[in-house]
Amino acid sequence: MRSATTDDDLTARARIRDAALLRFARDGFGAGLRAVAADAGVSPALVIHHFGSKDGLRAACDAYVLDRIRSQKEASLTTETPRESMAHLADLTQYGPVFGYVVRSLAAGGALASRFVEDMVAATGDYLALGVAAGTVSPSVDPAGRARYLVAQSVGLLQLALIDAEAGRAPSPTLEPVAAFTALSRWAVVPAMEMLTEPLLTDHDLLAAALDELAREEP
């Protein structure tokens, strides 16, 4: 049985991490540990105790976000019913901070953003492979390319969320992540599900032509 102290430490660590997700989303990664500590209602020393440094805190946030995305995608493709998956997606308050953090990570650019994207591609490849094994996802002629393309689509969608916010058409995904995720979901979920479940084109001629062209280009 865990001690009360251990439970308190775990609760504090999660509270700090959740506060950091929102603070980094809103203010960028230049936000200081004191601001995160104040948001979490703890001392800066406790942040250091749990994460070691701001780099350690960001690494923990990255790992948490990727794990949340991966675990939900895996569940939706292997164990959950479609209604269960949509019910989880509808709980916008839990995904808003994750959404804001991912937008900020990509907007920041640099080596950390590049690593984050590569981790997303790897996670996407993993859960698609699980879906193929479970019979819920169609096999691909290029599994790695499909995983990268899906991430590219997601990155483009997040960039569109920023553009819409700058144009005043939607809330800011970094300043108001829950409201922004809500607005995005209202128009994007149905088209996304349609394109994932219904072929856009009625025959495979373009795919066959692309594969033939690639075959001719190979040495």
25 within a domain of the structure (yes/no): no
How many other β-carbons are positioned within 10 Å of the β-carbon of residue 186? 10
Residues 4-18: pLDDT tens digits?
A: 334 455 689 999 999
The pLDDT, as a whole number, for residue 1 is: 33
Tell me: pLDDT of 89 over 70.
Answer: no
51 within a domain of the structure (yes/no): no
Q: 68: burial class by Cβ within 10 Å (0-12, 13-18, 19+)?
A: middle
In the chain, what percentage of residues exceed pLDDT 90? 53
48 within a domain of the structure (yes/no): no
Residue 70 pLDDT level (bands cut at 50, 70, 90): confident
36 within a domain of the structure (yes/no): no
Tell me: pLDDT of 122 over 70.
Answer: yes
91 within a domain of the structure (yes/no): yes
206 within a domain of the structure (yes/no): yes
* Domain extent at residue 200: 58-212
Residue 181 pLDDT level (bands cut at 50, 70, 90): confident
| CA distance to 45, 50, 63, 175, 184, per residue, from 42 (Å) | 8, 11, 22, 22, 33
Residue 110 pLDDT level (bands cut at 50, 70, 90): confident
Residue type, 135: G
Kindly report the CATH number assigned to the domain that includes residue 69: 1.10.357.10
How many other β-carbons are positioned within 10 Å of the β-carbon of residue 120? 23
Structural domains in the chain (count): 1
Tell me: pLDDT of 145 over 70.
Answer: yes
2 within a domain of the structure (yes/no): no
Residues 127-138: pLDDT tens digits?
A: 999 999 999 999
C-alpha span between 154 and 73 (Å, rounded): 14
CA 134 to chain centre: 23
115 within a domain of the structure (yes/no): yes
